[in-house]
Amino acid sequence: MIAPLPAPLASWSEAPRVRPLNAEAVRADGRYVLCWLQQALRANDNPVIDAAIRLGNALGLPVLVYQGVREDYPYASDRLHGFMLAAGRDLARDCAARGIACVQHVDRAGMREKGLVYRLAADSAAVLVEDQPTFVARWQSERVAARADRAVLAVNAACLVPPAVLGDGIGSTSAFRRRHEPLRAEWQHATAEVPAVARYDGSLPFLPDDLGAMSDADLDALVAAADIDHSVPPSPLFVGGRTGALEGLQRLVGAVLPSYAGTRNDATRPKGASMLSPYLHFGVIGPREVMDAVDAAKAPAACKDKFADELLSWREWFHYRARTLAAPERYDRIAGWARETLEAHAGDRRWDGETLADILHGTTQDETFNACQRQFLIDGWMHNNLRMYWGKRIIAMTADPEAAWAVACYLNDRLSLDGRDPSTYGNIASSFDGGAPARDEAPVYGKVATRSDGSTRHRPNGPQWLHEAANRPAPTPTVPDEVPTERYLVGS
Ligand SMILES: Cc1cc2nc3c(=O)[nH]c(=O)nc-3n(C[C@H](O)[C@H](O)[C@H](O)COP(=O)(O)OP(=O)(O)OC[C@H]3O[C@@H](n4cnc5c(N)ncnc54)[C@H](O)[C@@H]3O)c2cc1C
């Protein structure tokens, strides 16, 4: 049984974003409303915080924002840890500016804490979490909601239009667009931020880390002291935190958007794509803020429309889809016809002799694949136009389609700053089952459409660009004995 929405949230204009996760009531004896952020790492225009303040104000209680960074989430590495801690530092500073207490803890040698969220929840009136449909943020929220003896409420912070207002049963991207587009203007207007009644300065069950006061060197030291994968280094391309997100937004409206409709699909152009996906994945910036800037920008309508289609139609479609699946990270989400035809060709001869190390390190016999993979290895991001080629090539480089799914998710999740996202699994699934079944059967792929590298190689400078991209000096992350199983990935 699930509890009804508490009255202060039921009457909120953003109520469709909020979903009770358990049957427990709000506890009047709580000392604060706990706002536990795993991925929506921003202090402003954050519906999770706004919902917490609204509930706290109605109860006469302060809000306590909590971010904990553990060492044992899948793929924890210098790259992901560093990006999250930089976002966390700005979260702390911007919460302080809003008059909200934000407490943080980073597990590391000699400073490990167990069950912090449960300990903090024990003194709360209610726990607000973000409503993420994939990966750790989903599994952990569900786990905490099942064990907590007070209300746990999930708030959608990732989408412009809350998926709940779209209704059930949308089965295609065209139907999604028809339902989604008319609702955008209404949801783009942020509700005014209300001040919190008070700042929590009471006792805590642990000694927090003061991320807000830390220098870059301090953050680096935290990452170095954590027991995580140190073989995946930070991306030199993506500056963490709000500085990076806002620079990215400036770059989008100033340099990218004016020609976006024509250049977005050209991987050889350094300013063709927005490169905002890492910031969107970690919620350092939200789609509302991005669309406000896009609307205000000087750019042709066709370019703004194209961008809105990527950010709002495609991204929010995959969020919507993931919500309908018990485990969006699992191979069985791929359409039955595609699994059938791929499995029928599982015995076909594969691309010669590629090992997991070759695939991971971008040292295969396929120059274009290596160019793609080295973007993941070095930059922690890959251009959109390369990703479909990359996903489909993995099908031919691995023993069978299920192994291909596991390897593609593994590489994307471990290396890409925007991995582990509803868009990760939705798009990898599309590289297996996107489009209609082909009439003719191809080796290995069966009726699944194949993809050439022509959209990059046939550009004027394409061959040279691919050659250089495939030979960029890249880090060589450790090679596992085998890629993680789905049981591990879906957190069961
Ligand atoms: C095999 C494969 C794997 C992918 N894995 C991821 C992933 O792990 N995380 C991720 O965010 N995207 C993923 N994508 C989608 C897309 O490639 C990236 O969102 C995009 O390349 C990010 O670069 P950008 O920010 O410059 O995007 P732009 O091309 O400038 O687009 C703007 C924004 O729109 C959204 N967007 C664009 N294309 C898509 C799409 N196809 N699906 C969903 N949202 C989209 C993103 O939020 C992006 O930041 C994948 C695509 C494929 C084919």
Calculate mean pLDDT across residues 392-415: 96
Calculate mean pLDDT across residues 59-83: 97
- The answer on pLDDT for 364 being more than 50 is yes
What's the CA gap between 300 and 306, in Å, rounded? 10
pLDDT band with cut points at 50, 70 and 90 for residue 283? very high
Report CA(377)–ligand 1 centroid distance (Å). Answer: 17
Is the CB of 162 inside a 6 Å radius of any atom of ligand 1? no
Is the CB of 424 inside a 6 Å radius of any atom of ligand 1? yes
Report CA(485)–ligand 1 centroid distance (Å). Answer: 24
pLDDT of residue 365: 96
The residue to mutate among 312, 418, 451, having the most atoms of ligand 1 within 8 angstroms of its beta carbon, is 418
What's the CA gap between 64 and 103, in Å, rounded? 7
Ligand 1, closest atom to CA 413? 8
User: Do 33 and 88 form a contact (C-beta atoms < 8 A)?
Assistant: no
pLDDT of residue 490: 64
pLDDT band with cut points at 50, 70 and 90 for residue 488? low
- Greater confidence (270 vs 67) lies with 67
Residue 64 makes CB contacts below 8 A (sequence gap 6+) with 32, 33, 34, 35, 101, 102, 103, 120, 124, 200
Calculate mean pLDDT across residues 178-203: 92
pLDDT of residue 189: 83
What's the CA gap between 100 and 341, in Å, rounded? 55
Q: Tell me the per-residue pLDDT of 323-343, one tens digit each, with 9 for 90 and over.
A: 999 999 999 999 999 999 999
What's the CA gap between 206 and 200, in Å, rounded? 15
Identify the CA nearest to 222 among candidates 238, 203, 240. 240
Is the CB of 431 inside a 6 Å radius of any atom of ligand 1? yes
Closest-CA residue, ligand 1 atom 22, reads: 277
Closest-CA residue, ligand 1 atom 29, reads: 273
Is the CB of 311 inside a 6 Å radius of any atom of ligand 1? yes
pLDDT of residue 299: 98
Instruction: Give helix 287-296 / helix 301-308 axis angle, nearest 10°.
Output: 170
Closest-CA residue, ligand 1 atom 45, reads: 315
Q: Tell me the per-residue pLDDT of 289-335, one tens digit each, with 9 for 90 and over.
A: 999 999 999 999 999 999 999 999 999 999 999 999 999 999 999 99
Report CA(335)–ligand 1 centroid distance (Å). Answer: 21
- The answer on pLDDT for 99 being more than 80 is yes
pLDDT of residue 469: 98
Residue 487 makes CB contacts below 8 A (sequence gap 6+) with none
Report CA(381)–ligand 1 centroid distance (Å). Answer: 10
What's the full length of the chain, in residues?
A: 492
pLDDT of residue 191: 76
Q: How much of the chain, in percent, has pLDDT values that exceed 70?
A: 98
pLDDT of residue 492: 45
Average pLDDT, the chain: 96
Report CA(307)–ligand 1 centroid distance (Å). Answer: 11
Report CA(155)–ligand 1 centroid distance (Å). Answer: 23
Residue 79 makes CB contacts below 8 A (sequence gap 6+) with 232, 233, 234, 235, 380, 415, 417
CA distances from 230 to 9, 78, 81, 94, 478 (A): 43, 6, 10, 29, 9
pLDDT of residue 259: 96
pLDDT band with cut points at 50, 70 and 90 for residue 489? low
Calculate mean pLDDT across residues 406-423: 98
pLDDT of residue 350: 87
Q: What are 94's two structure tokens?
A: 């911007």
pLDDT of residue 68: 98
pLDDT band with cut points at 50, 70 and 90 for residue 87? very high
pLDDT of residue 353: 80
CA distances from 336 to 180, 268, 278, 333, 403 (A): 27, 35, 31, 8, 17
Q: Tell me the per-residue pLDDT of 116-151, one tens digit each, with 9 for 90 and over.
A: 999 999 999 999 999 999 999 999 999 999 999 999
Q: Tell me the per-residue pLDDT of 9-32, one tens digit each, with 9 for 90 and over.
A: 999 999 999 999 999 999 989 999
Identify the CA nearest to 417 among candidates 81, 58, 63. 81
Ligand 1, closest atom to CA 280? 47
* Residue 420 DSSP one-character state: S
pLDDT of residue 485: 73
Is the CB of 69 inside a 6 Å radius of any atom of ligand 1? no
User: Do 311 and 287 form a contact (C-beta atoms < 8 A)?
Assistant: yes
User: Do 415 and 377 form a contact (C-beta atoms < 8 A)?
Assistant: yes
Q: Tell me the per-residue pLDDT of 142-177, one tens digit each, with 9 for 90 and over.
A: 999 999 999 999 999 999 999 999 999 999 999 999
Is the CB of 280 inside a 6 Å radius of any atom of ligand 1? yes
What domains are there in the chain, each with its CATH number?
Answer: 331-483 (1.10.579.10)
Is the CB of 447 inside a 6 Å radius of any atom of ligand 1? no
- Cα(first)–Cα(last) distance of the chain, in Å? 21
Calculate mean pLDDT across residues 37-53: 97
Is the CB of 310 inside a 6 Å radius of any atom of ligand 1? yes
Calculate mean pLDDT across residues 179-194: 91
Instruction: For residue 197, give the amino acid letter.
Output: V
pLDDT of residue 30: 98
Ligand 1, closest atom to CA 275? 26
Report CA(256)–ligand 1 centroid distance (Å). Answer: 15
Is the CB of 264 inside a 6 Å radius of any atom of ligand 1? yes
Is the CB of 406 inside a 6 Å radius of any atom of ligand 1? no
pLDDT band with cut points at 50, 70 and 90 for residue 351? confident
pLDDT of residue 437: 95
Identify the CA nearest to 399 among candidates 468, 343, 439. 343
Report CA(313)–ligand 1 centroid distance (Å). Answer: 11
Chain mean position to CA 230 = 21
Identify the CA nearest to 129 among candidates 32, 192, 10, 40. 40
The residue to mutate among 269, 274, 423, having the most atoms of ligand 1 within 8 angstroms of its beta carbon, is 423
Sheet with 63-69: strands ordered across? 18-20, 151-155, 124-130, 32-36, 63-69, 101-106
User: Do 416 and 376 form a contact (C-beta atoms < 8 A)?
Assistant: yes
- The phi, psi pair for 160, rounded to 5°, reads -70, -50
CA distances from 419 to 79, 309, 384 (A): 12, 20, 13
Is the CB of 304 inside a 6 Å radius of any atom of ligand 1? no
Report CA(319)–ligand 1 centroid distance (Å). Answer: 12
Report CA(236)–ligand 1 centroid distance (Å). Answer: 19
Is the CB of 274 inside a 6 Å radius of any atom of ligand 1? yes
Is the CB of 315 inside a 6 Å radius of any atom of ligand 1? yes
What's the CA gap between 113 and 168, in Å, rounded? 41
Complete DSSP assignment for 6-55: PHHHHTSTTGGGEEE-SSPPPPTT-SEEEEE-SS---SSS-HHHHHHHHH
- Greater confidence (2 vs 256) lies with 256
